[in-house]
Amino acid sequence: MPAPDQTVLARRGEIVAAMRAIVPGEGVIDTPDGLRPYESDALTAYRQPPMVVVLPETTEQVAAILRWCHANHVKVVPRGAGTSLSGGALPLADGVLLGMARFNRILEVDYADRLAVVQPGVTNLAITRAVEDEGFYYAPDPSSQIACTIGGNVAENSGGVHCLKYGLTTNNVLGVEFVTIEGEVLRVGGRGLEPAGLDLLGIIVGSEGLLGVVTEVTVRLLPRPETARALLIGFPEVEGAGRCVADVIAAGIIPAGMEMMDKPAVHAAEAFVQVGYPLDVEALLIVELDGPAAECSHLLEEVETIARANGAVSIRISTDDAERVAFWAGRKAAFPAAGRLAPDYLCMDGTIPRRRLPDVLTRMRALSEQYGLGVINVFHAGDGNLHPLILYDANKPGELEQAEAFGADILRLCVEVGGVLTGEHGVGVEKRDLMPVMFSPVDLAQQQRVKCAFDPELLLNPGKMFPELHRCAELGRMHVHRGALPFPDLPRF
Amino acid sequence: MADAIRPDSADALAAIIADTASDGTRLRLRGGGSKDAIGAPTPDARIVDMRGFSGVVDYDPPELVLTVKAGTPLAEVQALVADKGQMLAFDPFDHGAMLGGADGEATIGGIVAAGVAGPTRVSRGATRDHLLGFEGVSGRGERFVAGAKVVKNVTGYDLSKLITGSWGRLAAMTELTLKVLPAPRLRLTLGVAGLDPAAAVAAMARAMGSAAEVSAAAHLPNRQGSPLTLIRLDGFPSSVEARATIVDRLVDGIAPLADPEAAALWTAIASATDLPAGVPLWRIVAPAAQMHGVIASVTGDWLMDWAGGLLWLASPDDPQAIRAAAERAGGHAMLVRADAAMRAVVPALHPQPKPLAALEERVRRAFDPAGVFETGRF
């Protein structure tokens, strides 16, 4: 992270007082004990208590906080529920942590236009809970949906197991109100299907808190499908499972979810939850189909035929919802199951073209041996999003560093085969330094100029996403030719 | 108008843009020219013909990803994916006939630059939801890439969203990566006659909010003398059949229409070609439940797509009045077709509130600091 600014640290008392003037009562936290719960998000390998935590309740307060911080050149890190797996909400020692948890109201549900207007601190699952009696739901379902907030989902463009069919957050948000670092309250998008001008909403979603602070979100609601059924399919080799996935899609079927687990993941999950997963297979597929009952039974048959043609050795089809949920229980327990295999694990999040899966898994096993660290693989097979879980023990000196190096090698491998560093968890601090693997200096400079259009002084969530923060004035001048900066060895200030 | 330049490589394009940035000339990016008649005339701008960038780069149907050069004709792209049983799910359409020309000239780059999406946009997402990545040249004359060639990616800012619908004002796209989806085996159109606009919107909302998985819904106020409301169901035959019974329960008197007439209706709805040609054509996007308010306060001929969320309006009314009506409904109005004199004074895109317009301006300068692409067209 950027080195703390000593002059800002020296002004801590003044900054806390200014925050108290804006947010009265218990909305400002500055005691060591009070700050500790905020020192990390779900990427717990990184910890840093913030200078002060502020928990505003109104858009006006958010605007006043940002206006003051902008005028006084104080950095701001926005935070939702703190469930980021990439360190998106990691605080700064010299920064204000702006917690949005008190923005927890559902403001309006409009069934005619199938949308809900909610505050950013509302949890992902709470939206579905509020509308399910009317037969609707909010589609993106990150695994942390019981805790993660919609504001955090907007920042990270969160996904979930159903995004091949229903999209990520960006495909399910119609509009937001947000506050700029200068304290200006703006609305982009709205309740209609298209914005009037540039699609600024599209750039704010997934911007990891670097462009503005979202204070209201309008989400699209979908009618709940009539039925959902799942198949549990075991394969004697990964290649067959990979071909099965490709053939399902080639047959014109987009399943609601299509998940793959490798043998170590199957064993870990089964030992943890005992749902009857077959233990003698190299790869296990869960394929969920939703829609009218007639469609589901037709597609179940088609998928079963495709699976057999690709050498499936075991196939179970859910007969009721309890059985479908049981199929998923093992997959959903993969992370805690990994927690029983080793004291710590790192969850990676690369995406690859699916056709490269067998090759990538083979090379990942070789890396596992090279680093002497175990890895288990769960995989959103439909969209090529890998979640290798690297097992390590943080108490053994050097093992965290080894695990991180292993993870970085996996992500480099993903990019090398034509994929990306992150499919749904975000760059944050975790993958920040790997950005040049995927993007040239010119590509990164172009992205950073967008940042400069919103936040020219780089006060919002600095240290995330970009490996180096160039001053905006410098970006305006810098000319980059064929991917090489002029005078690359010259220091830049 | 100066001669068009037709670069055939991204490096050549970059050199042209870099040179232009220093001499004050403005560049108007053009694909097939099917949308030339949108926006203010730009007599002084130099045209860059992007059709030198043509052809398929990579297409692997089971990956659901297509990479194609930006100047490739839309019709060619659609035929390519249709041949593999797939589609561009945002339902793009050609503006040629709508604007008094011929269909067949539109390029995929122009479609993305204009964010063109047809009737199934209401269910399957907009153009921006299907652009996974691109390569382009910024107004600084620098080649850059954004996004990627896989269907799921959150690495870095999502510049693909920003470039879609930016009308050539950020960068010249040279290569696009699009998400493609399986095409439905069956398309069934159901129709009901006689509903007034409010009742039609309500009926479409009931269907959209049901488990019938409606893929498109539109309303024509005067189809051979009577209003006609259309609901389309796409998918596997057994599924479409089951869902038709759901719609049947929700909308009294609705019944299947025969193809190919039904298919022709959707084509005409997408490009509003049945509306009178001699009057200005507006495209109004607003929440469906509010659209009847717009209809009540304007004159002229119209049709509703996107279950009422899109109004095509052929109207001689005062532009200010039309835009005010759209704003009252929580929406905005784009002037799509008008004579050159009107286009010279009435902006095509709905003016934004000042602070938002200022932010947009800064974002445009982030790509194009010298305003090479600011031709005055928008």
Instruction: Report the residue of chain A nearest B138, measured CA to CA.
Output: A446
Instruction: Report the residue of chain B nearest A295, measured CA to CA.
Output: B239
Of residues A186, A226, A442, nearest to B142 (C-beta) = A442
- CB contact under 8 Å between B309 and A192, yes or no, is yes
CA distance A135 to chain B (A): 8
pLDDT for the residue B2: 57
pLDDT at A478 over 70: no
- Using left for φ > 0, alpha for ψ between -120 and 50, and beta otherwise, residue B37 falls in alpha
Cβ count within 10 A of residue B55:
10
Q: Which of B32, B19, B159 shows the shortest CA–CA distance to B95?
A: B32
Residues of chain B in contact with residue A257, where contact means CB-CB under 8 angstroms, are none
- CB contact under 8 Å between B242 and A293, yes or no, is yes
CA distance B330 to chain A (A): 7
Burial of residue A252 (number of CB atoms within 10 Å: 0-12, 13-18, 19+) = middle
CA distance B22 to chain A (A): 14
pLDDT for the residue A366: 96
Where do the H-state alpha helices sit in A310-432? Answer: 321-332, 334-341, 357-371, 399-416
CA distance B97 to chain A (A): 23
Instruction: Report the residue of chain B nearest A157, measured CA to CA.
Output: B154
A426 near B CB under 8 A: yes
- CB contact under 8 Å between B236 and A295, yes or no, is yes
One-letter amino acid identity for B294? V
**Terminus-to-terminus CA distance in chain A, angstroms?**
16
Per-residue pLDDT band at A487 (split at 50, 70, 90): very low
Cβ count within 10 A of residue B44:
12
DSSP states along A220-242? E-EEPPSEEEEEEEEESSHHHHH
- CB contact under 8 Å between A170 and B129, yes or no, is yes
- CB contact under 8 Å between A246 and B331, yes or no, is no
pLDDT at A491 over 50: no
- B89 DSSP assignment: T
pLDDT at A482 over 90: no
Provide the token pair at B305: 């797509």
- CB contact under 8 Å between B182 and A252, yes or no, is yes
Residues of chain B in contact with residue A352, where contact means CB-CB under 8 angstroms, are 150
The tally of CA atoms less than 13 A away on the side-chain side of residue A270 is 14
Question: Do residues B306 and B293 lie in contact, with contact meaning Cβ atoms separated by under 8 Å?
Answer: no
Instruction: Report the residue of chain B nearest A137, measured CA to CA.
Output: B209
- pLDDT single digits (tens) A332-378: 888 888 888 999 999 999 999 999 998 999 999 999 999 999 999 99
How many residue pairs bridge chain A and chain B with CB atoms within 8 Å of each other?
A: 264
Instruction: Report the residue of chain A nearest B165, measured CA to CA.
Output: A198
Of residues A191, A196, A352, nearest to B350 (C-beta) = A196
Distance, in Å, from the CA atom of A66 to the CA atom of A55, rounded to the nearest integer, reads: 13
Residues of chain A in contact with residue B352, where contact means CB-CB under 8 angstroms, are 196-197
Cβ within 8 Å of B, A 429-458: 431, 435, 438-440, 442-444, 446-447, 449-454
pLDDT at A118 over 50: yes
Residues of chain A in contact with residue B350, where contact means CB-CB under 8 angstroms, are 196-197
Could you tell me whether strands A52-54 and A95-99 are parallel, antiparallel, or unpaired per DSSP bridges? parallel
Compute φ and ψ for A351, nearest 5 degrees.
-120, 140
* Structural element, H or E, at residue A344: strand A344-347
Q: Which residues make beta-bridge pairs with A222?
A: A137
**Terminus-to-terminus CA distance in chain B, angstroms?**
18
Instruction: Report the residue of chain B nearest A414, measured CA to CA.
Output: B150
Of residues B64, B205, B332, nearest to A112 (C-beta) = B205
- Higher-pLDDT residue of A133 and A473 is A133
pLDDT for the residue B21: 78
Q: Region B195-210: what's the mean pLDDT?
A: 97
Distance, in Å, from the CA atom of B255 to the CA atom of A179, rounded to the nearest integer, reads: 49
- pLDDT single digits (tens) A442-456: 999 999 999 999 999
pLDDT for the residue B3: 79
Distance, in Å, from the CA atom of B96 to the CA atom of A314, rounded to the nearest integer, reads: 54
Residues of chain A in contact with residue B156, where contact means CB-CB under 8 angstroms, are 427, 435, 438-439, 443-444, 447, 465
A110 near B CB under 8 A: yes
Round the average pLDDT of chain A to a whole number and report it. 93
Per-residue pLDDT band at B22 (split at 50, 70, 90): confident
B97 alpha carbon, distance to own chain's centre: 15
What does the longest C-alpha to C-alpha distance in chain A come to? 70
Q: Which residues make beta-bridge pairs with B335?
A: B282
* Structural element, H or E, at residue B123: helix B121-124
Distance, in Å, from the CA atom of B263 to the CA atom of A18, rounded to the nearest integer, reads: 64
- CB contact under 8 Å between A450 and B142, yes or no, is no
- CB contact under 8 Å between A298 and B236, yes or no, is yes
pLDDT for the residue A281: 97
Q: Region A128-138: what's the mean pLDDT?
A: 97
Question: Do residues A209 and A195 lie in contact, with contact meaning Cβ atoms separated by under 8 Å?
Answer: no
A179 near B CB under 8 A: no
- CB contact under 8 Å between A465 and B156, yes or no, is yes
Residues of chain A in contact with residue B285, where contact means CB-CB under 8 angstroms, are 192-194, 196
- Using left for φ > 0, alpha for ψ between -120 and 50, and beta otherwise, residue A41 falls in beta
What count of residues does chain B have?
A: 378
Residues of chain A in contact with residue B67, where contact means CB-CB under 8 angstroms, are none
Distance, in Å, from the CA atom of A53 to the CA atom of A31, rounded to the nearest integer, reads: 10
- CB contact under 8 Å between A224 and B211, yes or no, is yes
CA distance B268 to chain A (A): 21
Given CA atoms A112, A118, A124, A125 in this order, what sign does their dihedral have?
A: negative
pLDDT for the residue A1: 81
- pLDDT single digits (tens) B203-262: 999 999 999 999 999 999 999 899 999 999 999 999 999 999 999 999 999 999 999 999
DSSP states along B321-352? HHHHHHHHTT-EEEEEE--HHHHHHS-SSPPP
pLDDT for the residue B178: 98
Instruction: Report the residue of chain A nearest B166, measured CA to CA.
Output: A198
Q: Region B273-281: what's the mean pLDDT?
A: 95
* Structural element, H or E, at residue A179: strand A173-179
Picking from B84, B112, B123, B150 by the largest number of A CB atoms within 10 A of its own CB, the best residue to mutate is B150
Per-residue pLDDT band at B353 (split at 50, 70, 90): very high
- pLDDT single digits (tens) A397-431: 999 999 999 999 999 999 999 999 999 999 999 99
Question: Do residues A354 and A245 lie in contact, with contact meaning Cβ atoms separated by under 8 Å?
Answer: yes
Where do the H-state alpha helices sit in B47-103? Answer: 74-83
Of residues A136, A186, A423, nearest to B153 (C-beta) = A423
Cβ within 8 Å of B, A 222-251: 223-226, 246-247, 249-251
Distance, in Å, from the CA atom of A328 to the CA atom of A321, rounded to the nearest integer, reads: 11
DSSP states along B177-214? EEE-EEPPSEEEEEEEE---HHHHHHHHHHHHTSTT-E
- pLDDT single digits (tens) A287-308: 999 999 999 999 999 999 999 9
Provide the token pair at A330: 């093992």
Residues of chain B in contact with residue A443, where contact means CB-CB under 8 angstroms, are 144-146, 156
- CB contact under 8 Å between B150 and A419, yes or no, is yes
pLDDT at A84 over 50: yes
- CB contact under 8 Å between A202 and B128, yes or no, is yes
Per-residue pLDDT band at A492 (split at 50, 70, 90): very low
Per-residue pLDDT band at A469 (split at 50, 70, 90): confident
Instruction: Report the residue of chain A nearest B287, measured CA to CA.
Output: A192
Distance, in Å, from the CA atom of B27 to the CA atom of A97, rounded to the nearest integer, reads: 45
Of residues A136, A224, A435, nearest to B156 (C-beta) = A435
